[in-house]
Amino acid sequence: MSRLLIRGGHCVRPDGVTQQNILIENGAFLDFDPPASAHTDDVIDATGMHVFPGLIDDQVHFREPGLTHKEDLRTGSMAAAKGGVTAFMEMPNTSPTTTSADALSAKLARAKRSCVVDYGFFGGATGQNTAWLREETRACGIKIFIGSSTGDLLVDEQELLEEIFAQTRLPIAAHCEDETLVRANAAALDGGLVISDHSKIRNAEAAAKSAARTIDLARRHKHRFHLLHVSSAAECDVLRDRPEWVTAEACPHHLFFDTTDYDRLGSRVQMNPALKSPEDKEAVWAALQDGTIEVLATDHAPHTLEEKDEPYPRSPSGLPSIEWLLPLMINAASEGRCTFEQIAAWGAANPAKIWDLKGKGSLKVGLDADFSIVDTEALSEVQDGSQVTKCNWSPWHGSALRGMVCSTWVRGFRAYHEGQFADPGSAQPLQYERGVS
């Protein structure tokens, strides 16, 4: 039996921060404040540091297979580890899409060879593959693009949506923007589009209308549903009238950017759903604070700068963010926008609960020893050209964020330490505690 002691760190949990020694055995938390006589094989001194639970990012796009010039599972998982993320859940809009048992098997095999943090994959709904989704148990959930998709992943027909919600049991996550309204908004703009038009086309009404439609499906079919990347006050209002089995998330780009940032950053902050007003940004923060939104996720969606610099609307939507998730939030805490305890809840405890993750989510005896050792006073310098993510740029270029991840551990194995990464092969697929066999 291998035992590791983390000594002197301040352990961050949703209910408080306490200085404790942590004893880890065979990849799990064995004890907090063990007796001095407890046997250890190795000791890590974390005096003056904070120990955060490993963050769980339930929405990433790591682009493998098919688009690996932007990102791949290896580089994406490395960026995750640097950002304090110990498990990710990846979306199905790769090439080919993850819309069959064979495609999911292929992704799981690729991840086993490539990843340094634990991993899960969504099965994508096409409207034609409900039979597979009904039986699949290895997927973390079902992803539906109700608006704004690529290839065959757009599902907008009411009959098909009713079928998916009625006949499947895995939790459903959806990108919600009303496709009809988006197209009408685009048609109403007479050519000569500029980047700021993106937020006029994909406006708050389109997002809220689709969210309300999908929550109605979840309510009537009593199906667990997770609303991805909330971007507006209107969506927050819709969420306040929902059944208990409906949850939601916010992403860094909607918390730290708004429509006033187009002049400075252009298509680098083009994403779907689009940026909204400064007032909408504050409403999303408020919804996180009051529990209307439970989860923090990145929607990490890298493209090369050459692709992003194409004239709008040829420029693709999406940006990289997972590499800086924990520093971004620690920096926000330093500015009074949130607390360390809230970061632990939004980033770890809540996603573990919502997605039924076995052994994940907290600094607690018996759970997987997933954590990061963080210097909350050190500055993380964000510079294009020195990123771990393969696209090698960041919309936060030039920022000095208060908070630096010194090391990240997955099931007691050090995946990242001061710029160095473990070899792949130790990461494992996520396991689920849910009522499906």
Q: Which long-range contacts (CB under 8 A, 24 or more apart) does 184-193 make?
A: 193/312, 193/313
Question: C-alpha distances in angstroms, 40 versus 5, 17, 414?
Answer: 6, 24, 16
State how far the Cα of 270 lies from the Cα of 318, in Å rounded to an integer: 6
**CA triplet 83, 88, 93: central angle to 5 degrees?**
115
d(CA 42, CA 1): 12
Active site residue 299: yes
Q: State the Cα–Cα distance between residues 42 and 407, nearest whole angstrom.
A: 15
H-helix or E-strand spanning residue 330: helix 325-334
Strand ordering across the sheet containing 295-296:
123-124, 142-146, 172-176, 225-227, 246-250, 295-296
Type of residue numbered 55: L
> How many other CB atoms are found less than 10 A from the CB of residue 191?
4
Q: Choosing from 258, 299, 368, 370, which is the catalytic residue? A: 299
Residues in CB range of 425: below 8 A, 6 or more apart? 112, 113
Asked if the bond preceding 14 is cis, omega within 30° of 0, the reply is: no
Q: Assess contact for 200 and 190: CB atoms under 8 A.
A: no
What tokens were used for 194? 């500029």
**Residue 398 dihedral angles phi and psi, to the nearest 5°:** 90, -5
Mind giving me the DSSP string for 377-421? EEEEEP-TTS-SSTT---TTTT-EEEEEEEEEEETTEEEEETTEE
Partners of 344 in the β-ladder: none
Q: What end-to-end distance do the CA atoms of the chain give, in Å?
A: 32
Q: Which positions are catalytic?
A: 299
